[in-house]
Structure 1
Amino acid sequence: MARGNQRDLARAKNQKNASKNKGGNTENGYEQAKSKLSNAEIMRQKQAEADAKKKALEEKALQEKKDAKAPKKPTELGS
């Protein structure tokens, strides 16, 4: 018992700080559901953009690979 009431004072101080910092979620159920749907739609759009970009890069790499394998056509110089 060397600490005396120090533990109780610290607990009370921590509870006071915790209640002061308590923000919590102020949205009701409808607002939460609406924001979830909105966020989900935004993420779907981002994923679609990322997929399109990835597909374009893959097609570009495939075309470069085909071009590298194709035999070079001789060019006529001045005649």
Structure 2
Amino acid sequence: MTRGNQRDLARQKNQKKQADLTKGKRTDNLTVEQRKARDAELMREKQKKKEDAAAAGTSK
């Protein structure tokens, strides 16, 4: 074999690249409106927690 393990190394590199590309993608299959509603609810909860923590911190 004249190429050695170059083909195997290229295959492994490509598999790692493909895995990294698909890692960040979500597969929740939501419409834009559903995603916006979900994100808005999460942000409201996060803001409420922050306000509660600030109120608890100032009342000490």
Counterpart secondary structure, 2:49: helix
Equivalent residue in structure 1 for 2:54, among 40, 51, 63: 51
Q: What 5-or-longer segments of structure 2 have no aligned partner? A: none
- 1:28 deviation in Å? 1.7
Q: TM-score, normalised to structure 1's length?
A: 0.47
Partner of 2:4: 2
Partner of 1:31: 34
Q: TM-score, normalised to structure 2's length?
A: 0.58
Q: What 5-or-longer segments of structure 1 have no aligned partner? A: 58-79
- 1:9 deviation in Å? 5.4
Change over 3 Å in CA distance of 1:2–1:46 after alignment to 2: same
| Alpha-carbon distance in structure 1 between the residues aligned to 2:49 and 2:6 | 58
RMSD (Å), alpha carbons: 2.9
Partner of 1:40: 43
Identity fraction in percent: 10
